[in-house]
Amino acid sequence: MICAKPGEDRRYHLVALLLQQRSQPVPRSSRLPSAVNQDERRHGEEFNRLKYLLALALAPVCRRYWKVSEQFQNDIMKTTISLSSPAQLETESLVAIVLDHTDQTQKDQTQKDKNKDAKPQLKLATGDPAVQSAAADLLASGELTGKPFEINLLHKPGGLKAKRLLLIGGGAAKKFATYDLRRIAGAAVRTLKARGIRSFAFIAPPSISAEEAVSAIVEGALVGNFDADYYRSDRKDQKIDALTILAAGNQAALEKAANEAQVIGESQNFTRDLVNEPSNRMTPTILGDRAKKMCQEVGLKCEVYGADKIKELKMGAFWGVAQGSDEPPALIVMKYEPAGAPEKPVLGLVGKGITFDTGGISIKPADGMEKMKYDMAGGATMIGAMRAIALLKPKVKVIGIVCATENMPSGKAQKPGDVQIAMSGKSIEIINTDAEGRLVLADGLVYARQLGCTHLVDAATLTGAVVVALGYANAGIFANDDAMYERFHKANEEAGEKMWRLPLDDEYKDNIKSSIADIVNSGGRWGGAINAAMFLKEFAEDTPWIHLDIAGTAWMEDQKPWIAKGPSGIALRSLVEFVKSFAN
């Protein structure tokens, strides 16, 4: 596989290729011969792939940590709004939604009368007669159920200029909403790109307002276009490059909705990209570098502080976690301060950034530990949210804080029984070193208040207990202020993300009492997610505060029709809508 002349010693080629991969100068004695350079020019793509594979294979020998190559960043999907007739649009594939218009009374009667062979009343979610005609025979055949994500692909549909007509089931017409539309758009992308199709047109359903439909389609399509397998050497080049949305309405308003949705969808995928990186390629330092680079691109202020600053701020809870790792921690501070924004409110977004969580001295079982690279998903969400906020430009001040570190066992690591003094001055008895996320968030919340934040939201893959309580469908949400919760809940519904409020009653405070310190960092097995939230509430104090426990929703355990297995980017859309609500 190494391009060398017959009889040449290939060892110097290995050295040269490794140095090239690391963007370091290649000594004259190790430079590739001209014949190889010519071959590289002729077969550049294959040669670059081989260089990457070789460097990746030998990376542990040469260098422990490698930054992600730019070639792995997801390409941008171009979105166009069209007001033309679907039948007249030339496209690789036209996508239409099939809805079941059978009402519940009819369904109940059919279930009672089992001898009756009733068919669902299926209709396309479009008023275009040519598209309806092209699908009429299939809809009347009785072969379709109209259930969500049912896929049927027609080639050379009669009366249409499109090469294909993709019909996707959307379920019951009465229940169909933007939540469903977003997922169907993702399913359309994943269905078509798997067939090597790179562009298509989507008919916006008339039952949803045009601007909302456009936003949902764009966001869903971008999420569906992301795949997490970019370290595979045999990865196929399958992606959608261009999406056309067929809708009726004001062109300028629809394009504005599409552009905003593009920002949100791309920011969600940016978050997913951060979460997807293995921990040797996403250390706290690298996470800080990625955040700083993003901030430079979108015009945010950004500071990344190290251990000295953490100690200077007396962040004893944060440092207690960080002290066990050879990797230096990073305190990432991003500021969005638009001209014309009022002095208050100042929103604080605080994220847990544990780039790998072994559990520390209270070490986790080996089974499934590889997934703990995702333990910085809360921090990645805040970085992605700050990107979207900077590009959307709402008139409200926002500060994003990520406390990034590894949680490792070592001779320097904190131990069960230790007492750490948090930035607020509270003393914390360490019961379990695997309850580390709440420690770094505690200092992050206090620091946000010190910087002037009047409202706080934190996000973290905090507890397995929230997964026991809510499974993988809903994130857990906690609040110390009902008005704050109602505002976030409204944003949450607009964003189409599922979250369920859990209690923070005073009775739970007894679970975090310590006999030798102010509080313990682990309140025991029962009500574990609530105990963790009660711990954080001690540091939010009277500041209106929301806590999002995304442990069960930040990672898709299985591939779904609308999204790939891997990081989900949960909470970003809700956070952006929440921030926009203050500007409105």
Number of domains, the chain: 3
Q: Does residue 559 carry a pLDDT above 70?
A: yes
Question: Does 414 fall in a domain?
Answer: yes
Question: Does 6 fall in a domain?
Answer: no
Same domain, 234 and 334: no
Question: Does 289 fall in a domain?
Answer: yes
Could you please report the per-residue DSSP string of 516-584?
SSSEES---STTHHHHHHHHHHHHHTTS-EEEEE-TTTSEESS-BTTB-SEE--TTHHHHHHHHHHHH-
Same domain, 339 and 294: yes
Other residues' Cβ atoms within 10 Å of the Cβ of residue 509: 16
- pLDDT tens figures, 564-579: 999 999 999 999 999 9
364 catalytic residue (yes or no) = yes
Same domain, 290 and 254: no
Q: Which residue has the higher pLDDT, 355 or 1?
A: 355
**CA nearest to 522, candidates 437, 408, 430, 407:** 430
What whole-number distance in Å separates Cα of residue 309 and Cα of residue 315? 9
- Secondary structure (3-state) at 37: helix
Q: Where are the alpha helices (DSSP H) in 236-356?
A: 251-276, 284-298, 307-312, 316-322
Same domain, 137 and 56: no
What whole-number distance in Å separates Cα of residue 301 and Cα of residue 388? 14
What whole-number distance in Å separates Cα of residue 419 and Cα of residue 423? 13
- pLDDT tens figures, 164-192: 999 999 999 999 999 999 999 999 999 99
Mean of pLDDT values over 386-393:
98
Catalytic choice (364, 490, 501, 565): 364
What whole-number distance in Å separates Cα of residue 287 and Cα of residue 282? 6
Q: Name the residue with tokens 């790109």.
A: 193
Contact between residue 166 and residue 97 where contact means Cβ atoms under 8 Å apart: no
Residue 541: CATH number of its domain: 3.40.630.10
Same domain, 208 and 334: no
Q: What is the reported pLDDT for 357?
A: 98
Same domain, 340 and 192: no
Q: Does residue 119 carry a pLDDT above 50?
A: yes
Q: What is the reported pLDDT for 76?
A: 84
Same domain, 202 and 333: no
Its pTM stands at 0.87
Same domain, 403 and 535: yes
Catalytic choice (190, 397, 438, 449): 438
Q: What is the reported pLDDT for 500?
A: 98
Q: What is the reported pLDDT for 107?
A: 55
Mean per-residue pLDDT over the chain, rounded: 89
Question: Does 330 fall in a domain?
Answer: yes
Mean of pLDDT values over 245-255:
97
Q: Does residue 213 carry a pLDDT above 60?
A: yes
Residue 254: CATH number of its domain: 3.40.220.10
Question: Does 579 fall in a domain?
Answer: yes
Q: Does residue 433 carry a pLDDT above 90?
A: yes
Name residues whose C-beta falls within 8 Å of residue 562's C-beta, 6 or more positions apart in sequence.
149, 182, 183, 184, 185, 186, 187, 190, 220, 223, 224
Q: How confident is the model at residue 228 (pLDDT cuts 50, 70, 90)?
A: very high
Burial environment of residue 60 by CB neighbours within 10 A (0 to 12, 13 to 18, 19 or more): exposed
Contact between residue 224 and residue 189 where contact means Cβ atoms under 8 Å apart: yes
Mean of pLDDT values over 415-441:
98
What whole-number distance in Å separates Cα of residue 351 and Cα of residue 377? 8
Same domain, 392 and 523: yes
Q: Does residue 440 carry a pLDDT above 70?
A: yes
Q: Does residue 365 carry a pLDDT above 50?
A: yes
Q: Among residues 261, 291, 320, which one ends one of the domains?
A: 261
Q: Is the torsion defined by CA of 405, 68, 381, 522 positive or negative?
A: negative
Same domain, 22 and 97: no
Query: Which runs of E-coded beta strand occur in 112-190?
Result: 122-124, 151-155, 164-172
> How far apart are the two ends of the chain, measured CA to CA in Å?
59
Q: What is the reported pLDDT for 34?
A: 36
Distance of CA 484 to the CA centre of its chain: 24
Question: Does 90 fall in a domain?
Answer: yes
Same domain, 143 and 50: no
Same domain, 366 and 395: yes
Q: Does residue 8 carry a pLDDT above 50?
A: no
H or E element that contains 131: helix 129-140
Q: What is the reported pLDDT for 237?
A: 87
Question: Does 276 fall in a domain?
Answer: no
Question: Does 378 fall in a domain?
Answer: yes
What residues make up the domain containing 545? 282-583
